[in-house]
Amino acid sequence: MKKVTKYQDKKVLVIGLGKSGLNAAKLLLRLGAQVTVNDKKEASPEVQTQLTQMGVRVVTGSHPLSLLDGCDLIVKNPGIPYRNELVAAAQAQGLPILTEPQLAADILEGQLVAITGTNGKTTTTTMITEMLNQARPNHAFKAGNIGIAASQVAQEIGADDVMVTELSSFQLLGITDLHPHIAVLNNLYEAHTDYHGSREEYVKAKMRITMNQTADDYFVVNWDQEEWRTLSQASSAQVVPFSRQNLSQAGAYVKDGTIYFRDEAIMPVTDVKLPGEHNLENALAATAVAKLMGVSAQAIRQVLMNFGGVRHRTQYVATFKERKFYNDSKATNMEATEKALSGFKQPVVLLAGGLDRGFSFEALEPYFKNLRGIVLFGETADLLEEAAQDAGVLNIVKTENAVTAVPLAYQMSQPGDVILLSPACASWDQWPTFEVRGDRYIEAVEELIKKESEK
3-state secondary structure of 386: helix
Per DSSP, the residues of 57-96 read EEEESS--GGGGTT--EEEE-TTS-TTSHHHHHHHHTT--
* 306 has binding-site annotation: no
Residue 319 in marked binding region:
no
Annotation-wise, does 158 bind a ligand?
no
CA distance 352 to 421: 6
119 carries a ligand binding annotation: yes
Distance separating alpha carbons of residues 184 and 257, to the nearest angstrom: 24
Residue 122 annotated as part of some ligand binding site: yes
Query: What is the three-state SS of 144-203?
Result: ECCCECHHHHHHHCCCCCEEEEECCHHHHCCCCCCCCCEEEECCCCCCCHHHHCCHHHHH
Name 297's Cβ contacts closer than 8 Å, sequence gap at least 6: 261, 264, 265, 266, 267
Bridge-based pairing of strands 252-255 and 73-76 is unpaired
Which of 331, 412, 414, 401 shows the shortest CA–CA distance to 367? 331
Strand boundaries in 269-383, DSSP class E: 315-320, 323-327, 348-352, 371-376
The kind and range of the H/E element at 436 are helix 434-454
Is 270 assigned to a binding site?
Answer: no
According to the annotation, is 214 in a ligand binding site? Answer: no
User: What's at 118, amino acid-wise?
Assistant: T
| Known binding-site residue numbers for ATP | 117-123
| Known binding-site residue numbers | 117-123
